[in-house]
Amino acid sequence: MANRREAWFEQANGFLDPGLIRELKRLREAGIDEEQEAVPVIVSFDHQVESSIRQEALDLCSTGSCNEVHGELRTPKGFYGKISPGTIRRLTEQDGVRKVFHDREVRSFLDVARKSSGVTEVQAQEGLTGKGVTIAVIDTGIHPHDDLMKPDSRIVAFADLVGGEEEPYDDQGHGTHCAGDAAGNGHLSEGLYAGPAPEAKLVGVKVLDKNGSGQLSQVIKGVEWCVENREKYDIRILSLSLGAPAFESYRDDPLAQAVEAAWHSGLVVCAAAGNEGPYPGTISTPGHDPVILTVGSADDRNTVDRKDDVKASYSSRGPTLDLLVKPDIYAPGTNIISLSVPGSPLEEQMPENRVNEYYINLSGTSMATPFCAGVAALLLEANPTLSPNDVKSILKFTAQPMEGDRAGYLDVGRAVEMAEKYRSFQKEAQLKG
């Protein structure tokens, strides 16, 4: 029996990411003309590529009946758009091009939690509320819910990379729930359904549409927007309750590299582990990046006592493709009551989850991630000089061990105590310096 001859895209393994090879194979099997069907891609250049060679690649991807370049990216250095398989094939012979990725779909990951994690006690004893800290929620948008707008508006900025609107809105509902998970103040529930950082400020960055989906490139642009506007809005934390399947090492993954760059710029990045548990090896991108803080979901079983808390069965497990331990921390994410957008697709899809006209009950690492972001805001309020690495180290070191896992469960009281102790260490270091 003769050996099957490999297709050109299979021979380009390493130059094309595995997700793109899979998509090109699907189109080939469907009999699609390689010059008539556009595929969403991200094209990355070599770091030292000459401008003339870079322009040749851009020109190549701008010609043809279905080719279109949509914009440029800084991390990775390159551009994104839609180009035909035939053009992709020609790119494999183009100087200066390092790799081509499938710009695949990214999706959102779908009261007692505050007490069981220790937030309520910290707020009562320490008076910490996230005041003075700004959290950027990169998601489906933020609805101006009363729990975010009264007594004073805490939505300090809104960037709509989907529809270009200027005023805050959320046409899906997921991002608003996440904003409340982090920083809702319980205005319409007499404080019952408040997040861990009820006085933190919020920035909404809409990168997902009304279906809760978007492209890798759109999320990367959202992360880049936050880095660009970090000082303008005093953004300290990014919360990403979204992800896509991880097909390759974080060293090559464009979204992982974008959030890692944000981390090194001084931003604490909290990303969802994903909801593909209990199967191992299911951590999504960007959560598989070792630098950022990847959050898994715990189930507090609707009790204040932490002894019966377990990791949620749906929460994605490691190891990552690079055989690294993930997630880094577990936070409450099961049956979390938070903000709802009236008449939103989320309400229509889950009418039984509505608590009343203002709130909805949801579960997922999507909920655990902004909760962790809110806790990070408490640490930064307690000690504004903490670096992202400090925040991650403190949360991991003070976490309560969880049976059968390397990652622990958030212990807010111990974490805040250590954040405050860091001040004395920092003063000693300054004196010695």
366 annotated active-site: yes
Task: Report residue 261: phi and psi, to 5°.
Answer: -65, -40
Among candidate residues 116, 181, 366, 390, the one labeled active-site is 366
Among candidate residues 145, 174, 177, 288, the one labeled active-site is 174
Sequence-ordered list of residues with C-beta below 8 angstroms from that of 330, at least 6 positions apart, any chain:
295, 296, 297, 298, 311, 315, 368, 399, 402, 405, 407, 408, 409, 410
Query: Quick check: 366 and 373 in contact, CB under 8 A?
Result: no
Query: Quick check: 341 and 308 in contact, CB under 8 A?
Result: no
Give the residue among 293, 345, 335 at the shortest CA–CA distance from 314: 335
Q: What is the largest CA-CA distance in the chain?
A: 76
249 annotated active-site: no
Among candidate residues 103, 111, 139, 170, the one labeled active-site is 139
177 annotated active-site: no
State the catalytic residues. Answer: 139, 174, 366
